Structure 1
Amino acid sequence: MSQEIQAHGKRRSGEEIRSAILDYLHMAAEQTGTGLTARQIGEAFDIHPTTARFHLERLVEQGEAVRQRKDSDGQSTGRGRPAVIYSPTFMNRVREDMISSLCMALETACPDTDSRDRAALKAGQVWGRALARQSRGNAEKDLSPSMTRTLLDTLATLGFAPVTAEPDSSSLYLTSCPFLDSVNTHPIICTIHLGMVLGLVENSSRAVKNKKASILLTPLSSPKGCFLKVAKVDNKPRRKVKQ
């Protein structure tokens, strides 16, 4: 149902429309944990996507919203640009605060690098397992999504905007990072993400039996973003850091 953009027979002002759009972004974030495109906003308010984009960009300028580029279905089609997703600023702040608090706790509890990395990897695995259980719970009973599909869907929901690196569908580029502002201060964020992917893959509906998943994560390895490769072999997960 379209949102009303008129009040008492009079068309709302730009500020009133933007206030309504911001409220709608907050509602979507609380219900789904994700942002919306200009097209989705346009459909909700019965306005042209260009008009919706204008108001969304004004909200970004005012610091009320943030924008991220994200592929619409988590896969690279080789055509066009990734969709631009708009979300309320508080979503990024909450995520940044959460990850920063976790990193500071790990750094305090584990002063040496090796133990810190092990703890970060383990914390990430716990997170990934929980995400895998959630993914299975959200799926229909007769539907068994593939490991790659689960990985793509989950990473997209978290805001990493994964795009498949052709021709190998198990290789991805993470074209966005919801914690990018904290990476330089807390580099173990990438290790947590590595563990999260490991836990997610090993506990997905079609996890490999009798084998472990080997995961290579290369942070910010190209202009496309971080490179992630998942292989079904008996190797340990690896994080390759750019020198």
Structure 2
Amino acid sequence: MSDELAEQVAGVGALLEPARRALYLYVAAQPDAVSREQAAKAVDLPLHSVKFHLDRLVEEGLLDVEFRRLSGRTGPGAGRPSKLYRRSSRQLSVSLPERRYDLAGEVLATAIDRSSGDDVPIADAVRDAAEEEGRRIAAAARGESKVAAPGVASAVGTGRVHHDLVRAARVLARHGYEPRISDREIRLANCPFDRLAAKHTDLTCGMNLSLIGGVIDGLDLRRLSVELAPQPGFCCVKIRG
């Protein structure tokens, strides 16, 4: 499970508690930020319980906090500002296996802009945009922890090629690919763009190949190469050492 999916699952899990879910729905429905007292009255819960649940929703990024005097008064004697809650801009969307249609949308939108503005064939524009996105992902991953990411299937091995395979797998796991390392290669057990691949196979597989190639190039893993190798139950791309 990628870090992003784990955060999404945690956010959804926070709403499983009935009182917490009722509070979130109440706050989300209000046109302005609300106080603990207003929320407690609306959902008919004790104030101390409401405080706990609201702060938990803040911790999960589902609510934002602001401080303001509800009376509108200012200066000495106006009282302390109240702690108010409003729905955050965070969006929750969980799918298993993990899907990353947001990532595909970014690549395709960039490609369409370039294709229409520079009269570039759309397939070429998609490949270029996907490779750039792969390099961006690699650049963001350079400073990440070397601890193996959840979702990378364990594989015993030594040597530089194996080290490169593990590095690539660690990054791809964070984007939903579910890498499996064996026999000096990586097979990807999940396609984050599965629905697109089923309906627009050539375009999506080409995007996948360029995006993963961009990741490999961006990580400077010169001992690895990517190729199209469709196989039932796996992504269309394979990485060889």
Q: TM-score category by the smaller chain?
A: 0.3 to 0.5
TM-score by length of 2: 0.47
TM-score by length of 1: 0.47
Q: Which has the larger radius of gyration?
A: 2
